[in-house]
């Protein structure tokens, strides 16, 4: 019994290392030049299978050891040049990798693996290893694996310049980040309280300045522990694109850039599904069939580019294809068929925004890949729930670019402080397009729609925040206040506020866990004077404002 307990302590390490080997195996297989493979690549693929087999046998997972034993035999013959590498061998090895991933998930509490799948794949591997051509009778359904490890790897530099790592539970890191956030707030409160003393005590001022610098450096250092490179997400897409392109009969090359760009672990986890949907859309709807591309003067092979980079305190992720582009007329026709509100001569951005309407699709045929009309609205909602935004640019015949702007972390946010009545709110900077003071002549009243304001060629709904939150405003007329133009899943809107109080970085605190859910509010923060300020959920605030718009005409 004690031996079992001792062995089980190493299971978490095995799960994580096995997943790393499987990921490495897949990326190496997808990068192979089948006609002229490099020896080192073949050796690395063999070593990955060999490592999994050895560890699985040692830690008591005979099912995984059996599959990797068969795979090891095949890969050994290939690397020794006893068998020529073929696309069939690559395909079978990729399918075997999927099966091993399913087995790994099962041992962590996931769904059991079908014995028929194991038998079919092992049989196919054995036939290929003996020199026969074969086809897999039954491919396994790829099961979404449970979390491989609820730990992050923190790098520790030693004096010898070598780099080691330790595995730390995520809950410990989150607790540390929360405590540092409290420290930042306390430091800010202390600085504001002692402000009166600065003039008389220069030394106090200098030491508080030093405390602020040290606190900010500590905060940045702790936050970096939760940062992961986007390669952890990007690495799954070469396989996805390869499989979908083969299924659809298309030729597609995926190019990735900026894989080392880092994001908070929480953002990484939640961006995976939206990115997967957008990639599938580009493969299915964006890039044309080879004969269509040749007819339009393009190469038969389409290019899909996935890139990530930093810009202005945010991370930008772009999905770009050189396909047919969005069909403006088709989108407009579908939108009007469904009764969506469309202006007389809409700008391209307004047209592209229509595809985010719930259930919107221009697909004539529902396929296994896409076209069910569920997805783009969910994509936008998921990205906005992270404090991000998504934009589309498209040129007919030349392709489409989807740009996602995300915050670096979910713990700290850049926001704009706004005053409404006697309250101070924070608007996420990622949602703000611009702010302006309108002319009285630009504001109209339309029955059933409430107030509209004319901004840069279009009428936007105007949401008075004092009406949404039941406050007495300092400015009753919009022309005396400020309009903050925001981008939401409902489209652009203008928030009427009393004043702008400046941009600041705030520490985000959950309102639900500390108080309760408040309509129109996503979270809260503690200001330097100790007061609590609410962070707006911009989309929900606009929705609440538009719902009460007809009532605003009475006042």
Tell me the pLDDT tens digit for each residue of 285-323. 899 999 999 999 999 999 999 999 887 667 889 999 999
Share of the chain above pLDDT 70, in %: 85
User: 386: which 2 tokens?
Assistant: 């992270």
Q: By the 8 A CB rule, do 375 and 280 touch?
A: no
What pLDDT is recorded for position 554?
Answer: 30
Nearest to 381, CA basis, from 221, 188, 538? 538
Q: C-alpha angle 55/225/409, rounded to 5°?
A: 120
**Quick one: which of 397, 387, 358 has its CA closest to 375?**
358
When the pLDDT of each residue in the chain is averaged and rounded to a whole number, the result is 81
Q: Rounded mean pLDDT of 20-32?
A: 88
* Fold classified for 158-225: Helix Hairpins (1.10.287)
Residue 509: pLDDT band (50, 70, 90) is confident
- Report CA torsion sign: 242, 245, 249, 252: negative
What pLDDT shows up at residue 303? 94
Q: Which range in 121-125, 489-493, 508-512 is most confidently predicted, on average pLDDT?
A: 121-125
In this predicted structure, the answer to whether residue 113 has a pLDDT above a threshold of 70 is: yes
CA nearest neighbour of 275 among 325, 330, 316: 316
Cβ atoms 314, 430 nearer than 8 A: yes
Tell me which of 29-38, 68-77, 139-148, 374-383 is least confident. Answer: 139-148
Q: Which CATH architecture has domain 412-552?
A: Beta Barrel (2.40)
Q: Higher confidence at residue 154 or residue 465?
A: 465
Looking at domain 229-407, which CATH architecture does it have? Answer: 2-Layer Sandwich (3.30)
CA 47/CA 24 separation, integer angstroms = 10
pLDDT in tens, 415-460: 899 999 888 999 988 888 899 998 888 888 877 667 888 888 888 8
Q: Are 22 and 104 in contact (CB under 8 A)?
A: yes
Overall fold of domain 2-129:
1.20.120
* Token reading at 531: 């007061």
pLDDT band of 188, cuts 50, 70, 90: confident
Quick one: pLDDT at residue 479? 87
Report for 89-98, 167-176, 179-188: range of highest mean pLDDT: 89-98
Return the pLDDT at 321: 93
Residue 33 binned pLDDT confidence (cut-offs 50, 70, 90): confident
Euclidean distance between CA atoms 501 and 396, whole angstroms: 43
> Which of 33-42, 78-87, 441-450 has the weakest average pLDDT?
441-450
Closest C-alpha to 450, from 461, 435, 460: 461
Residues in the chain: 555
Residue 60's SS3 state is coil
Name the β-bridge partners of 302: 252
State residue 10's pLDDT score.
67
Q: Could you read off the pLDDT of 195-228 as tens digits, one per residue?
A: 655 556 777 778 888 888 888 788 778 878 878 8
- Residue-wise pLDDT tens digits, 237-260: 898 898 899 889 999 999 999 988
Percent of the chain with pLDDT over 90: 16
Domain parsing of the chain, residue ranges: 2-129, 158-225, 229-407, 412-552
Tokens 């404090």: give the residue.
387
**Cα(99)–Cα(84) distance, rounded to whole angstroms?**
24
CA dist 176 to 37, 63, 164, 263, 302, Å?
Answer: 47, 40, 21, 18, 46
Apex 93 CA angle, 90 and 97, nearest 5: 135
Task: Grade residue 143 by pLDDT with cuts at 50, 70 and 90.
Answer: low
Let me know: does 454 contact 492? Beta carbons within 8 Å: no
Residue 230 and residue 261 in contact, taking contact as beta carbons nearer than 8 Å: yes
In the predicted structure, residue 46 carries a pLDDT above the cut 60:
yes
Report pLDDT digits (tens) over 365-412.
Answer: 445 455 444 468 888 888 888 878 888 999 888 999 999 988 877 777
If DSSP states are collapsed to H, E and C, what string results for 126-168?
HHHHCCCCCCCCCCCCCCCCCCCCCEEEEEEECCCCCEEEEEE
> CB-hemisphere CA count at 13 Å for 471?
19
Mean pLDDT value of segment 525-541: 83
Report d(CA 374, CA 376) in Å as an integer: 7
Please check whether residue 464 is in contact with residue 455, taking contact to mean a CB–CB distance below 8 angstroms: no
């Amino acid at each position: 019994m004690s031996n079992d307990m001792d062995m089980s302590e190493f299971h978490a390490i095995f799960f994580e290392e096995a997943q790393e080997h499987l990921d490495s195996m897949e990326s190496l297989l997808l990068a192979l030049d089948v006609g002229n493979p490099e020896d080192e690549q073949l050796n690395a693929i063999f070593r990955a299978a060999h490592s999994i087999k050895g560890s699985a046998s040692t830690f008591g997972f005979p099912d995984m050891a059996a599959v990797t034993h068969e795979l090891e035999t095949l890969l050994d013959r290939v690397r020794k040049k006893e068998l020529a590498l073929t696309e069939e061998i690559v395909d079978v090895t990729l399918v075997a990798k999927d099966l091993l991933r399913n087995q790994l998930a099962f041992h962590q509490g996931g769904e059991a693996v079908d014995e028929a799948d194991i038998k079919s794949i092992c049989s196919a591997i054995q036939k290929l290893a003996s020199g026969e051509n074969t086809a897999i009778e039954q491919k396994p359904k790829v099961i979404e694996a449970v979390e491989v490890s609820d730990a992050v790897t923190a790098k520790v530099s030693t004096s010898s310049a070598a780099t080691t790592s330790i595995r730390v539970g995520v809950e410990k890191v989150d607790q540390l980040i929360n405590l540092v956030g409290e420290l930042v707030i306390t430091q800010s409160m202390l600085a504001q309280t002692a402000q009166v003393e600065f003039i008389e005590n220069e030394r106090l001022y200098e030491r508080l300045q030093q405390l602020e610098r040290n606190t900010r450096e500590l905060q940045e250092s702790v936050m970096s522990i939760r940062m992961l490179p986007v390669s952890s997400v990007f690495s799954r897409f070469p396989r996805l694109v390869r499989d979908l392109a083969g299924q659809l009969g298309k030729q597609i090359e995926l190019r990735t850039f900026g894989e080392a760009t880092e994001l908070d672990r929480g953002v990484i986890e939640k961006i995976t599904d939206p990115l997967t949907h957008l990639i599938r859309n580009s493969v299915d709807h964006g890039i044309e069939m080879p004969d269509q591309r040749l007819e339009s003067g393009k190469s038969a092979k389409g290019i899909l580019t996935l890139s990530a980079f930093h810009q202005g305190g945010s991370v930008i992720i772009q999905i770009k294809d050189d396909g047919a582009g969005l069909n403006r007329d088709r989108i407009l026709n579908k939108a009007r068929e469904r009764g969506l509100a469309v202006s007389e001569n809409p700008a391209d951005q307004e047209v592209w925004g229509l595809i985010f309407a719930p259930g919107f699709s221009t697909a004539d045929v529902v396929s296994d890949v896409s076209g069910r009309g569920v997805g783009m609205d969910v994509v936008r909602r998921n990205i906005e729930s992270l404090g991000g935004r998504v934009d589309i640019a498209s040129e007919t015949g030349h392709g489409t670019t989807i740009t996602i702007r995300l915050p670096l972390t979910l713990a700290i946010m850049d926001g704009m402080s706004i005053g409404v009545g006697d309250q101070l709110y924070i608007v996420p900077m990622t949602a703000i397009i611009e702010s302006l003071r309108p002319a009285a002549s630009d504001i109209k009243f339309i029955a059933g729609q409430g107030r509209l304001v004319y901004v840069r060629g279009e009428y936007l709904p105007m949401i008075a925040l004092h009406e949404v939150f039941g406050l007495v405003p300092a400015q009753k007329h919009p022309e005396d206040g400020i309009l903050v133009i925001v981008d939401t899943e409902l489209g652009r809107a203008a928030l009427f506020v009393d004043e702008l109080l400046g941009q600041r970085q705030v520490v985000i605190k959950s309102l639900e866990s500390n108080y309760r859910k408040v309509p129109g509010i996503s979270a809260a923060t503690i200001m330097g004077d100790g007061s609590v300020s609410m962070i707006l959920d911009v989309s929900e605030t606009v929705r609440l404002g538009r719902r009460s718009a007809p009532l605003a005409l009475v006042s």
